[in-house]
Amino acid sequence: MSTALFWFRNDLRLTDNPGLRAAVEENKAVLPVFVLDERLLQRDRWGFLRMGVYRLRFLLESLQDLKEDLQDKGSDLCFAVGIPEEVLPKLAQEHGCRALYASKEYAHEELQIEERLSKDLDTHFYHSGLLVNPDEVNFAIDKVPEVFTQFRKRVEKYSEVPGTLDPPEQIPTVAFTASELPGPEAFGYELPPQEQRAVLPFRGGALQAYNRLDHYLWDTGALASYKETRNGLIGADYSSKFSAWLANGSISPRAIYQEVEAYEAEREKNKSTYWMKFELLWREYFKYITMKHGRKIFFKGGIQDKAVRWKDNPKAMRKWMTGTTGDDFVDANMRELLYTGYMSNRGRQNVASYLVHQLKQDWRKGAAWFESCLVDYDVSSNWGNWMYASGVGNDPRDRVFNTKKQAKDYDRDGDYRRLWLQEERSPEAFLEQYMQAELAG
């Protein structure tokens, strides 16, 4: 048996990690590696930091948790900063690793990295972020249903969600010198003070993910009323908030699905428990749409190749980003995003609709700003939902949200708007500070 690299990507966990299991079982020793891609700490075409401070902090917390879990298994985490397709072959050569194991990703940039690595290494990629793998559905990738309802019905009828995998008992590891993980400050980021109005503090890592799962299902029983409360705006438990841990793989969707089924068996099965699984299928759907359409999810006309003329108004864009548009419901949601890195699903639909249909701005700018800010950024869900909201994705209709009516429906007494709009802080000054971070060194 040989030695191998295991490259952690958006699968920062030991439980239910098929690639890691395979690497351990098929090799005498493994080098666990995470490479912080320096391109994600730089600016995109719109001038936004691709990974803002909230997601970077959450990522580093998740890696610290992963490092401790690896240490419990007799291993450790090799952490590097750089370009993965350059760093990983060098590490493999330095440590005599003949193969690379990793979880599969589906978006264009990630696939390019996989292709380049496959030229230099014997690569083995595993699906670890899906409920149902592509070879377990009854349609080819180029035949993925464009309409979610059709996708959902076919997956529910013809596919079964497998159980989760236990973590390896031990992880024999290639000898290397492990180091302490840096904080966000090491990359030129200035951490804002903890926002007391935030729905959650959002601490990264598998331990925190399972704590949140236990809290939402078993400690509070909030799952039983999820369908009725999921459009809330204030507080920790109006929705599950699992998305942040799902996004970097601190927990797998199968683990959540399995726990929901356990809850249904032991406590209660109702529309709300089904709706949680329904939402996991929405996440799955956008993964499959990404597999099918590739780079087109980032195109101006989306997957419809729709000819749309967007305006280019930096002043209007900045007002949207700072929550100073004059529409109090939009502004409250955008302030929450700016100050905390999170926004409710109801809020995301409203602010996206406002940017596209009222301000007539390019939807890709909004998607890129969300990518920068969101602690729970997921490439497929983010860009898929923005296409959907902009009428260039899987819904050909232009869904225009009446934000005044939405405010009356979901913030009838104005509590949410007062929470985020009555303050002395300048959102413009906060934005300037947020945007100033640069990759150190």
If one counts the domains in the chain, the total is 3
Closest CA to 260 of 283, 277, 244, 246: 277
Closest CA to 136 of 106, 102, 160, 105: 160
pLDDT band at 114 (very low <50, low <70, confident <90, very high): very high
Residues 6+ apart with CB under 8 A from 47: 435
Domain assignment present for residue 192? The answer is no
C-alpha–C-alpha distance, residues 27 and 20, integer Å: 11
pLDDT band at 441 (very low <50, low <70, confident <90, very high): very low
* Interhelix angle 363-373/345-353, nearest 10 degrees: 150
- The conformation of residue 182, written as its DSSP 8-state character, comes to P
Express as a percent the part of the chain with pLDDT over 90: 93
For residue 372, give Cα distances in angstroms to 111, 350, 368, 416.
21, 19, 6, 24
Question: Token digits for 210?
Answer: 């399972």
Domain assignment present for residue 200? The answer is no
Place of tokens 């009555």: 422
Closest CA to 311 of 347, 358, 370: 358
Question: Token digits for 360?
Answer: 């007539």
Give the pLDDT mean for 181-202: 94
For the stretch 131-143, pLDDT in tens is 999 999 999 999 9
Judged against a pLDDT cut of 50, whether residue 207 lies above it is answered with yes
Alpha helices in 391-439 (DSSP H): 403-410, 415-421, 427-435
Are residues 13 and 94 located together in one domain of the fold? yes
The confidence score (pLDDT) of residue 439 equals 53
The confidence score (pLDDT) of residue 440 equals 44
The one-letter amino acid at 396: P
For the stretch 243-282, pLDDT in tens is 999 999 999 999 999 999 999 999 999 999 999 999 999 9
Residues 6+ apart with CB under 8 A from 159: 132, 136, 137, 138
Are residues 313 and 279 located together in one domain of the fold? no
Express as a percent the part of the chain with pLDDT over 70: 98
Provide the CATH number for the domain around residue 141: 1.25.40.80
Are residues 274 and 260 located together in one domain of the fold? yes
- Predicted TM-score (pTM) of the model is 0.97
Q: Given the DSSP bridges, would you call strands 78-82 and 99-103 parallel, antiparallel or unpaired?
A: unpaired
Are residues 250 and 135 located together in one domain of the fold? yes
**Got the DSSP string for 115-131?**
HHHHHHSEEEEE--S-S
For the stretch 401-421, pLDDT in tens is 999 999 999 999 999 999 999
Domain assignment present for residue 152? The answer is yes
C-alpha–C-alpha distance, residues 89 and 5, integer Å: 9
The confidence score (pLDDT) of residue 424 equals 79
Place of tokens 């059709």: 150
Domain assignment present for residue 359? The answer is yes
Domain with 12, as residue range(s), is 3-128
Give the pLDDT mean for 361-366: 98
Alpha carbon 395 to chain centroid distance?
22
Question: Token digits for 199?
Answer: 């729905």
Are residues 276 and 315 located together in one domain of the fold? no
Closest CA to 257 of 119, 123, 136, 164: 164
**Which among 280, 295, 310 is the end of a domain?**
295
The confidence score (pLDDT) of residue 413 equals 97
Closest CA to 132 of 161, 164, 175, 172: 161
Mean pLDDT of the chain: 96
Phi, psi (degrees; rounded to nearest 5) at 99 = -140, 160
Provide the CATH number for the domain around residue 97: 3.40.50.620
Question: Token digits for 250?
Answer: 């601190």
Give the pLDDT mean for 78-106: 97
Judged against a pLDDT cut of 80, whether residue 171 lies above it is answered with yes
Give the pLDDT mean for 101-119: 98
Domain assignment present for residue 231? The answer is yes
Torsion, Cα of 399, 402, 408, 414 (10° steps): 110
Residue 311 burial by Cβ neighbours in a 10 Å radius (0-12, 13-18, 19+): exposed
Question: Token digits for 158?
Answer: 């013809």
Domain assignment present for residue 182? The answer is no
**Which among 251, 266, 295 is the end of a domain?**
295
Are residues 224 and 266 located together in one domain of the fold? yes
Give the pLDDT mean for 350-368: 97
Phi, psi (degrees; rounded to nearest 5) at 132 = -130, 125
For residue 357, give Cα distances in angstroms to 60, 105, 363.
37, 32, 10
C-alpha–C-alpha distance, residues 93 and 235, integer Å: 50
Provide the CATH number for the domain around residue 419: 1.10.579.10
Are residues 281 and 357 located together in one domain of the fold? no
pLDDT band at 344 (very low <50, low <70, confident <90, very high): very high
Closest CA to 164 of 250, 259, 240: 259
C-alpha–C-alpha distance, residues 244 and 256, integer Å: 13
Name 361's bridge partners. Answer: 311
**Which among 295, 326, 341 is the end of a domain?**
295
Are residues 121 and 134 located together in one domain of the fold? no
Indicate if the alpha-carbon torsion angle 5, 15, 9, 291 is positive or negative. Answer: positive
Give the pLDDT mean for 39-64: 96
CB atoms within 10 A of CB 81: 17
pLDDT band at 42 (very low <50, low <70, confident <90, very high): very high
C-alpha–C-alpha distance, residues 27 and 229, integer Å: 48
C-alpha–C-alpha distance, residues 224 and 91, integer Å: 48
